[in-house]
Copies of this chain bind each other. A is one copy, B any other.
C-alpha cells in the first residue's frame, strides 16, 4: 500500500502533549496535510473528548473519534474504572502507576495506523515521552521503534511514527508548544486526573503541568481562560 509521506495523523487525547504535537505536525507537514484521531475508550473524564474536539476545531483539522470499548471490558485500571480511586501510588507488584492500562498506547497507535492505512496517510504523530513517564513502558522510544516495525510488517506499509516530545521535559514541551504556535490552544486542553475544570491543582497531573509552565516561565492559558 502506497501511502502519502506528506500526510500525518495525530493521536489527539485532549491533553497538552498531544495538542503540542498537533501544532508541531501542522508546522512540519502543512495545515492541509494534517488530521487527528481521538479514542473514546471509556475514559473516566469524557471532558477529554470534548476538549479534543474543541482543539481540532480551533486548529481547523479533520477529526475522527474512534470508539474502543474493550478497555472497560478488560477492566481493573484506575483511568477507566470509576470504582478505583486515583492516587499517586505505585503498584507494589508491578512497579507501575495504577493508571497503567497494559499496552494502551500500542492499541491506540495500531488503530491509528489502521486508520492511516485506509486513508493513505504515511505518518503518525503521538505525544508519548519517556521523560517524566518512566513508569509507562508503552511510551518509551524503544517500544515505539519496535511498534513501528511491527506495524510496517503487519500492514505492509511504510508508516513512520513521530514522537516529537520523546526526550523533552515538561518545561521543554511548553517551550515547543510556544515555538510551534500551540500555546494559545493550551487553554482548551485537559490535564486534571480528577476531571475538574478549572483544574483541581492538587492531583499529580495538575502539579506536573504547573511545574512545566512554571519552569518555562509561561503562564498557563488554562488558568486565565474565561
Partner of A67, one of B69, B137, B154: B69
The residues of B that contact A118 with a CB separation of less than 8 Å are: 74, 76, 102
Asked if A117 lies at the interface with its beta carbon under 8 angstroms from chain B, I say yes
Cβ of A205 within 8 Å of any chain B Cβ, yes or no, is: no
Among the listed stretches A108-116, A166-174, A194-202, which one makes contact with chain B, having 4 or more residues with CB under 8 Å of it? Answer: A108-116
Interface residue total, chain A, C-beta cutoff 8 A = 40
Q: Check if A43 is an interface residue, CB within 8 A of chain B.
A: no
Interface residue A149 (Cβ < 8 Å from any Cβ of B): yes
Q: Which residues of B are found within 8 Å of A150, using beta-carbon distances?
A: 106, 143, 146-147, 149-150
Give residues of chain A (128-144) contacting chain B, Cβ–Cβ below 8 Å: 137-138, 140, 142-143
What are the 8 A-B residue pairs with the smallest beta carbon separation, nearest first? A138-B154, A102-B117, A143-B153, A146-B150, A102-B114, A137-B156, A143-B154, A150-B150
